[in-house]
Amino acid sequence: MSLSDADYHAKAHTLLARIEAQIDAWLEEDVVDIDTHRTGGLLELTMPGGSKIVLNTQPPLQEIWLAARSGGYHFKWNGVQWVDREGQELLARLSSSASEQAGQALNFSA
């Protein structure tokens, strides 16, 4: 599904803001210490132990890329959610990658 540039940017911004808000809530509740750094459409998560997860918007392709220890994944908007080629939803993939790298269960989908 192709989005207008404005819709793509709005959906990508909403997603990154949601991820940041979840991490902020975990920090306030002392659940996990994840540092975030955002520059434009790039969001870098520094996990406990120093490993990183990077989410990066790709406006020309209308994708969001996720890089983690488990690999690199490309997500497109399907009209309902961001999914990769295998049909896995972005927040589910992020949850499993973050859980693995943090050494504790983390759920971005809730």
pLDDT tens digits for 51-109? 999 999 999 999 999 999 999 999 999 999 999 999 999 999 999 999 999 999 999 98
Q: Give me the numbers of helices (H) and strands (E) for the chain, helices first please.
A: 2, 6
Side chain identity, residue 100? E
The token duo for 35 is 């540092």
Range of the domain at 67: 5-102
48 contacts 103 by C-beta, under 8 angstroms? yes
6-30 per-residue burial string, b: 16 or more CB within 10 A, e: under 16: eebeebbeebbeebeebbeebeeee
Q: Is there a domain that residue 110 lies in?
A: no
Residue 73 sits in a domain whose CATH number is 3.30.920.10
Please count the structural domains in the chain.
1
Split at pLDDT 50, 70, 90, the class of 1 is confident
The mean pLDDT of 5-32, rounded to a whole number, is: 96
Is the per-residue pLDDT at 110 higher than 80? no
